[in-house]
Amino acid sequence: MLRPNDFAPLPEALWQDLRTASTATLSSALARRGLRAVCMFGPKPLRTGMRCAGEAYTLRMLPTREDLGEPSFLANPDYPQRHAIEAIGPGQVLVVDARGDLRAGILGDIFTLRIARRGAVGLVTDGAVRDATGVAETGIAVFAAGAHPLQHTAIHIAADEQLPIQCGGVLVMPGDIIAGDDDGVVVIPRAIAAAVAADAAEQERLEGFVLRAIDGGSSIIGVYPPSDATRAAYEASKQV
């Protein structure tokens, strides 16, 4: 029933814009379009300063049940957790719905390194990772709600891939744009991603201008939110 994204290619400018836009600014740009249910609750960067931007590749975990067995499916390359690792591609972010359950890690260092080698740019989950020290060293941006030593099969079973999921309380459709930084993770619907990112990047430039004014001793009155005069001064500053 949920209409899937068409996977029409995204403009290169989108990625350019996302490099300068913070999740705070992106969420404001989304809010101006009426979208507020887009900020995940739970996932935080594994190390301060991690940032990512990419296309969502979704994986859904369910609670496991003792009658479902275990050893057989772990060796099966079609097991969704395994399959997703080898299916994800460059510029994508693996988004794992773990229902906010932190009692096991959904991935460890080996699988995270593999998706990094396949070109993935991020891992986002409202569950936990394991081998957190190693995971943090794979060179990929990781946003998780915790760390836990136990392997995922103690708590979870991977159910399917590339369906719409929830993660951190937010709907994520395959192909949506995922952006993360120290404030957390924001989901940008694919259809409006380029416009939102462009708005946000421009807003960042304006806020940089404002920040320099405040840094120089300016009051916020008329400066932020910017009055017409401030906006004009900002526009003028761009001419230089």
Residues in region 98-137 near a copy of itself by CB under 8 A: 99, 101-103, 105, 108-111, 113-114, 117, 130-134
CB 41 within 8 A of CB 143: no
Work out which of 87, 147, 195, 233 binds a copy of itself, going by CB under 8 A.
147
Instruction: Give min distance, CB of 93 to a copy of itself, in A.
Output: 16
Q: Does 2 bind a copy of itself (CB under 8 A)?
A: yes
Contact (Cβ atoms closer than 8 angstroms) between residue 53 and residue 92: no
**Quick check: 27 binds a copy of itself (CB under 8 A)?**
yes
Distance CA 198, CA 230 (A): 21
One of 4, 11, 89, 169 touching a copy of itself (CB under 8 A): 169
Part of the chain binding a copy of itself (CB under 8 A), chosen from 9-17, 36-44, 87-95, 230-238: 36-44
Distance CA 19, CA 92 (A): 15
Query: Rounded to an integer, what distance in angstroms lies between the CA atom of residue 181 and that of residue 51?
Result: 4
Residue type, 137: E
Q: State how far the Cα of 86 lies from the Cα of 57, in Å rounded to an integer.
A: 12
Site residues (CB under 8 A) for a copy of itself, limited to 37-76: 37-39, 41, 44, 47-49, 62-68, 73-76
